[in-house]
């Protein structure tokens, strides 16, 4: 091990910048020196042993003002050792997937000492990010130059720099050439093709590739629903039995697609190696704080935080707060409906141009209030989740998602539920559903991708003019590239994209028997969504860091819960429909009982199906079992060796005694 770590002591001639660090303009020299020293310092001294270079103009001249942008890279061997640290899984020569180790590097496919592309650029950047984030304070009590920025042993330095406002951002650089290639295959041609998921994964990492994989899968899965939904619209079918059939098909279909997605996901992530990555040995997330202690699993030193304290925070603070917010949101909705009736009454009483305007007022106010609540709640949720102090990034994300999800669900669907089950107005429901679905889709695409793209383009042009080159999009110097990219917006993760899909799934399935056409709109939206999302991630935002992941996490649960709720709502809607009511003129009781029975049977069917369909295809199961078997055998081997050694020592001892 020692040999390897010292093998790259000499500064590499061929420095390839991978990650950019931007410090505050007024950061002190002292701090900068200390930071760069810590970054290049040897591992054994507690450094990250990376390469770091200030950003300078190509002609070598210093730029004006303070130097505050640094480029970080690493030698080839350092990256390989880092790949071992983060536990990357790569394909071996015998086509099996294995955890990469530096010493077994020759057994891996496509490995060669001079093949610098063995690790994808996304992986290299992920390794550097990981190393930077895990650069921890030793005996420093504070950040040099900033006495108020306290440090304690084990505290992540980058995190403290960030919270103190000294570090503005860390982001990975684009590879203009690769990006161009990717864009060409992805959305360059106007032809229908599958998403280039493997390429996306190589460039942006697994989380984003998995999102596009899910988006594509989900769109394909919606196509049958859309096809079956069209004739309902075209022929204006209103028959009871046809609606029941459509709803039943929808409900079972949604179970099947969610179960099958797990299998598809397992196939993909096995190929990408993330299915095998062990998440429980993750390093604590950078924001995690606690007293320095020993991790009971790995035996390594790291911050430790009592799980009971976290539980108390979750259940005694976060949970009541979320409930309160939900209650408040419902309260606001009730006010909106009251305002609505009041406006209607007002309009009827004194009809005028002003009263007509007044009719729109409640909706506008409600929309604004909802948007405001959403934003405030999002901040609160982020603050609370940070405060809960989860050890793992994944667990932090899950808790955040759960909080935001519940609130968004209520905000989006509460009014529809109210219309359907309190006002019993199916016409209004269909109308509201269509309006909400279509406007939200159009608005989303505009706000999310097209508008930022246009702004970005304008901004780029201006920026380029300032940086004295008008060559658009081609052959930018590194200096220009960094300066352009650092001004781009930050992609905040797949959260909002998944949320959009989740709400769309809600519109499609919750009231599917009232509005079968929803699936058609969803499919159309998703096709353009693929393009606009691709555009967004390639052109609008800074390149995001890759994040290895094995599944879509809590979203799977969210979609499954939605599909369970939709069974209940659809059954209830069918029970409420006048056609069905006409079938039971005498007794509403029989009707309700039959509907409830049908609902229970459907729910039972869903659970049986979820239980019967295995989550992983058989061949993946076998491969995983084989790996586990091998690792067990290896453990046995090691124990044997230890035992043999201890035996030897014992006999030695005995001999001496004799």
Using CB under 8 A, list all residues that contact a second copy: 84, 98-99, 101, 103-107, 278, 280-281, 296-299, 307, 568, 588-589, 592-593, 596, 600, 618, 622, 625-626, 628-632, 634-640, 642-644, 646-647, 650
Structure tokens at 118: 């063995």
Query: Least CB distance from residue 112 to a second copy, whole Å?
Result: 13
φ, ψ for residue 48, nearest 5 deg: -100, -10
Cα separation, 184 vs 96, in Å, equals 31
Of residues 223 and 572, the one with the C-beta less far from a second copy: 572
The answer to whether 195 and 211 are in contact (CB under 8 A) is: no
Query: Least CB distance from residue 306 to a second copy, whole Å?
Result: 11
Of residues 238 and 630, the one with the C-beta less far from a second copy: 630
108: DSSP letter: B
Of residues 63 and 564, the one with the C-beta less far from a second copy: 564
Query: Least CB distance from residue 385 to a second copy, whole Å?
Result: 17
φ, ψ for residue 5, nearest 5 deg: -65, -25
* Bridge partners of residue 142, in order along the sequence: 150
Of residues 99 and 374, the one with the C-beta less far from a second copy: 99
Query: Least CB distance from residue 300 to a second copy, whole Å?
Result: 10
The answer to whether 486 and 20 are in contact (CB under 8 A) is: yes
Of residues 61 and 299, the one with the C-beta less far from a second copy: 299
Query: Least CB distance from residue 267 to a second copy, whole Å?
Result: 17
Of residues 368 and 622, the one with the C-beta less far from a second copy: 622
Residue 98 half-sphere exposure, CB side, CA atoms within 13 Å?
18
Q: Could you give the dihedral angle defined by the CA atoms of residues 225, 227, 233 and 238, in that order, rounded to the nearest 10 degrees?
A: -60
CA 18 to chain centre: 22
Structure tokens at 611: 């239980």
Query: Least CB distance from residue 406 to a second copy, whole Å?
Result: 12
163 Rama class: left (phi>0) / alpha (psi -120 to 50) / beta: alpha
Of residues 24 and 402, the one with the C-beta less far from a second copy: 402
Cα separation, 100 vs 112, in Å, equals 14
Query: Least CB distance from residue 363 to a second copy, whole Å?
Result: 30
3-state secondary structure 570-605: HHHHHHHCHHHHHHCCCCHHHHHHHHHHHHHHHHHH
Which residues make Cβ contacts (< 8 Å) with residue 90, sequence separation at least 6? 83, 97, 98, 100, 108, 109, 273
Structure tokens at 588: 């509403």
φ, ψ for residue 280, nearest 5 deg: -75, -15
Query: Least CB distance from residue 539 to a second copy, whole Å?
Result: 40
Of residues 260 and 357, the one with the C-beta less far from a second copy: 260
Query: Least CB distance from residue 315 to a second copy, whole Å?
Result: 9
Of residues 56 and 406, the one with the C-beta less far from a second copy: 406
Cα separation, 393 vs 479, in Å, equals 33
């Amino acid at each position: 091990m020692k040999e390897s770590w010292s093998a790259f002591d000499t500064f590499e001639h061929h420095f390839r910048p991978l990650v950019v660090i931007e410090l505050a303009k007024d950061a002190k020299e002292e701090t900068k020196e200390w930071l760069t020293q810590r970054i290049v310092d040897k591992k054994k001294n507690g450094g990250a042993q990376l390469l770091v270079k200030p950003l300078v103009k190509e002609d070598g001249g210093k730029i004006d003002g303070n130097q505050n942008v640094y480029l970080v890279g690493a030698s080839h061997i350092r990256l390989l050792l880092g790949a071992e640290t983060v536990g990357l899984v790569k394909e071996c020569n015998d086509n099996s997937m294995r955890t990469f180790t530096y010493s077994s590097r020759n057994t891996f496919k496509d490995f060669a000492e001079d093949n610098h592309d063995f690790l994808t650029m996304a992986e290299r950047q992920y390794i550097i990010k990981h190393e930077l984030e895990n650069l921890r304070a030793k005996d420093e009590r504070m950040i040099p130059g900033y006495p108020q920025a306290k440090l304690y042993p084990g505290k992540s330095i980058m995190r403290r720099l960030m919270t103190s406002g000294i570090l503005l951002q860390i982001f990975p650089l684009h590879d203009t050439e690769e990006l161009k290639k990717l864009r060409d295959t992805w959305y360059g041609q106007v032809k229908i093709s599958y998403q280039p998921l493997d390429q996306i994964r190589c460039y942006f990492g697994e989380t984003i590739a998995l999102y596009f994989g899910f988006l594509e899968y989900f769109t394909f899965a919606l196509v049958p629903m859309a096809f079956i939904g069209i004739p309902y619209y075209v022929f204006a079918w209103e028959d009871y039995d046809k609606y029941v059939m459509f709803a039943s098909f929808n409900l079972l279909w949604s179970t099947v697609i969610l179960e099958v997605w797990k299998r598809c996901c397992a196939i993909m992530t096995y190929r990408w190696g993330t299915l095998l990555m062990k998440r429980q040995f993750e390093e604590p997330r950078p924001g995690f704080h606690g007293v320095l202690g020993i991790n009971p699993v790995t035996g390594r030193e790291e911050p430790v935080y009592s799980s009971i304290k976290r539980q108390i925070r979750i259940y005694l603070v976060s949970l009541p707060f979320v409930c309160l917010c939900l209650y408040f949101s419902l309260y606001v909705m009730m006010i909106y409906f009251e305002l609505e009736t009041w406006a209607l009454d007002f309009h009827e009483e004194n009809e005028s141009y002003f009263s007509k305007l007044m009719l729109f007022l409640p909706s506008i106010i409600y929309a604004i209030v909802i948007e405001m609540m959403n934003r405030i709640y999002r901040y609160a949720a982020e603050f609370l989740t940070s405060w809960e102090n989860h050890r793992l990034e994944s667990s932090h994300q899950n808790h955040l998602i759960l909080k935001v999800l519940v609130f968004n669900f209520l905000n989006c669907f509460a009014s529809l539920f109210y219309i359907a089950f309190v006002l019993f107005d199916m016409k209004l429901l269909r109308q509201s559903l269509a309006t909400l679905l279509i406007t939200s889709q159009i608005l989303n695409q505009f706000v999310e991708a097209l508008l930022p793209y246009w702004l970005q383009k304008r901004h780029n042009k201006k920026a380029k003019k300032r940086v004295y080159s008008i060559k658009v999009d081609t052959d930018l110097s590194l200096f220009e590239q960094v300066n352009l990219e650092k001004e781009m917006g930050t992609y905040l993760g797949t959260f909002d994209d998944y949320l959009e899909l989740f709400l769309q799934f809600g519109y499609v399935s919750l009231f599917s028997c009232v509005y079968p056409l929803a699936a058609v709109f969803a499919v159309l939206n998703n096709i353009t969504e693929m393009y606009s999302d691709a555009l967004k991630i390639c052109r609008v935002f800074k390149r995001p860091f890759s994040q290895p992941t094995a599944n879509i996490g809590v979203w799977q649960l969210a979609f499954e819960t939605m599909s369970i709720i939709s069974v209940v709502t659809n059954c209830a809607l069918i029970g409420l429909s006048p056609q069905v009511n006409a079938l039971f003129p005498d007794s509403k009781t029989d009707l309700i009982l039959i509907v409830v029975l049908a609902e229970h049977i459907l729910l039972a069917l869903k659970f049986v199906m979820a239980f019967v369909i295995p989550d992983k295809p058989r061949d993946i199961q076998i491969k995983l079992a084989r790996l586990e078997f091998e690792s067990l055998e290896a453990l046995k081997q090691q124990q044997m060796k230890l035992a043999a050694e201890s035996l030897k020592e014992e006999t030695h001892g005995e001999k001496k005694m004799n």
